[in-house]
Amino acid sequence: MSNSTSTQLKWLNSNHGAIEWRLVGPNIRNRFDSNVTPERLEDYVRDRTALMQECSLQALMDETLILKVTDLSALTFETIHPNLVGIEVQDLQSFFSTHSILEKMTNDFKALQSACEQELKNREADSGSSF
């Protein structure tokens, strides 16, 4: 086995400071979206996996999407960036580990779960008010 680093991983490492990672979840404040009914919000608060299935992780450079992780548990991703095409899952995992991307994502995920809980409380309070 070779210990050489792929060109894609080298590129990610050399540009990591310019890459912004965003966890993108459901638009929980849109009461008309079928993914954010009160029942779904309850699921998201109770079950991390249910919420994780609705989220993606996006890598942006100069506000341009360069890589999108579409399945957070299986680390399935897509990219058309010329410096990232052909990157292997192991390289992405190595990059995430080296630069604490998973820790940031975990913190963002917890914040999103809390936001789901707060939105659920807001909806319950609104349904009890009279107009």
pLDDT tens across the length of the chain (131 residues)? 446 899 999 999 999 999 999 999 999 998 888 889 999 999 999 999 999 999 999 999 999 999 999 999 899 999 999 999 999 999 999 999 999 999 999 999 999 999 999 999 999 888 875 44
Q: Which two tokens stand for residue 38?
A: 């009160």
Report the C-alpha gap between 117 and 103 in whole angstroms: 21
- Burial of residue 69 (CB within 10 Å: 0-12, 13-18, 19+) is buried
